[in-house]
Amino acid sequence: MDETVIRIRNLHKRFGDLHVVKGVDLEVKRGERIAIIGASGSGKSTILRCLNFMEMPSEGTIELDGKLLGTEGRANGGRAGRIYSEAELCALRTRVGMVFQQFNLFPHMTVLENVMEGLITVKRTSKDAARSRATEQLTKVGLLDKLDAYPGKLSGGQQQRVAIARALAMEPEVLLFDEPTSSLDPELVGEVLRVIHALAEEGRTMLLVTHELGFAYHFADRVVFIADGVVHETGTADEVLKHPKRERTQAFLARFTERAF
């Protein structure tokens, strides 16, 4: 049985004349935890956003559970490419959850309402069932006492944990984390990483773009180093973070004097 959940082939992403992702191939197995590292501007976050179709791929294909997404057609500008329907993308995003750098919470909604919103509007869950599911996930991230609080009254770490609970509530098959601690004050980073580590221990399929190399080492089954929009080196955490073979990887890691591994 093929345990590949996501298969990316020849992924490209262009923003006008700027070619950010340049032919990435990547397979993600069920239950695998992948850390994606690289310098700012290397394309790592763009790859993640293409996986959730927050950015539309310029070229290449993405499969989810063996099903090729989209259909052949003519993209904007008349160039041959893949066309994705809104219904298909909406269904995909319930299966591939994403936690962003910025928390993207609705400021006029309470913590509980933020987590319930997607269940009600996207999954058409009843309010009672949505409330129960949201409360369960907020308990998991340690925020049961904040159900009626508004985001503006929470710390950055608490807001990010609400965002994680919101993603979990949709019961996704895959969780994507796009530098989830980069907007946090240093003293708040640990509380978010502890939640992510606890989720990893549940056997979830997770991709994490991060600059926290110490956490990546302890979190990841596999580390992928991205440079100039391509996969430059990949392997176990020991292989990539402790014993990198490629000179470019070695130079990148040399910039980090404290790695905690």
- What is the side-by-side order of every strand in the sheet holding 96-99? 96-99, 174-178, 205-209, 33-37, 222-227, 230-235
pLDDT for residue 68 = 94
Residue 260 is assigned to a structural domain of this protein: no
Percentage of residues in the chain having pLDDT higher than 70: 95
Is the pLDDT at 16 greater than 70? The verdict is yes
> Is residue 159 one of the residues assigned to a domain?
yes
Please give the single-letter amino acid code of residue 58: S
State yes or no: pLDDT of 1 exceeds 60: no
Q: Both tokens of residue 178?
A: 């796009």
Nearest to 94 by CA among 160, 159, 168: 168
What is the rounded CA–CA span in Å between residue 186 and residue 7? 35
- Record the pTM: 0.92
The rounded distance, in Å, linking the Cα atoms of 226 and 44 is 6
Q: How far apart are CA 9 and CA 68, in angstroms?
A: 11
Task: Give pLDDT tens digits for 68-82.
Answer: 999 987 766 656 678
Is 259 domain-assigned? Answer: no
The CATH code of the domain that includes 181 is 3.40.50.300
Number of domains present in the structure of the chain? 1
Give the mean pLDDT of 212-223: 94
Cα–Cα distances (Å) from 157 to 101, 102, 182, 193, in that order, read 11, 11, 11, 10
pLDDT at 81: 77
Report if residue 233 sits inside a domain. Answer: yes
pLDDT in tens, 109-153: 999 999 999 999 999 999 999 999 999 999 999 999 999 999 999
Q: pLDDT band at residue 103, thresholds of 50, 70 and 90?
A: confident
Residue 102 belongs to some domain of the structure? yes
pLDDT of residue 33: 96
In a domain, 29, yes or no: yes
Q: How far is the C-alpha of 152 from the C-alpha of 49, rounded, in Å?
A: 26
Q: What is the mean pLDDT of residues 183-205?
A: 92
Residues 77, 119: Cα–Cα separation, whole Å: 36
**Per-residue confidence (pLDDT) for residue 79, from 0 to 100:** 66
For Cα atoms 168, 111, 188, give the angle at the middle one, nearest 5 degrees: 75
Separation between Cα atoms, residue 117 and residue 134, nearest integer Å: 9
Q: What is the mean pLDDT of the chain?
A: 92
Examine residue 71 and state whether it is found in any structural domain, yes or no. yes
Choose between 44 and 102: higher pLDDT: 44
Which among 94, 86, 99, 60 is positioned nearest to 209, based on CA atoms?
99
pLDDT at 255: 86
Domain for residue 261, yes or no?
no
How much is the average pLDDT of 166-181?
95
Range of the domain at 31: 4-253
Q: What is the pLDDT of residue 146?
A: 96
Structure tokens that stand for 211 in this block: 């600059």
Residue ranges in the chain assigned as alpha helix (H) = 44-51, 86-95, 111-121, 127-140, 156-169, 186-201, 213-219, 237, 247-253
Higher pLDDT, 258 or 206: 206
Give the pair of three-digit tokens for residue 207.
Answer: 């991709």
Using CA atoms, how far residue 70 sits from 11, 62, 77, 172, 251, in Å, is 14, 9, 18, 20, 39
What is the pLDDT at residue 169? 95
Average pLDDT over residues 174-185: 93
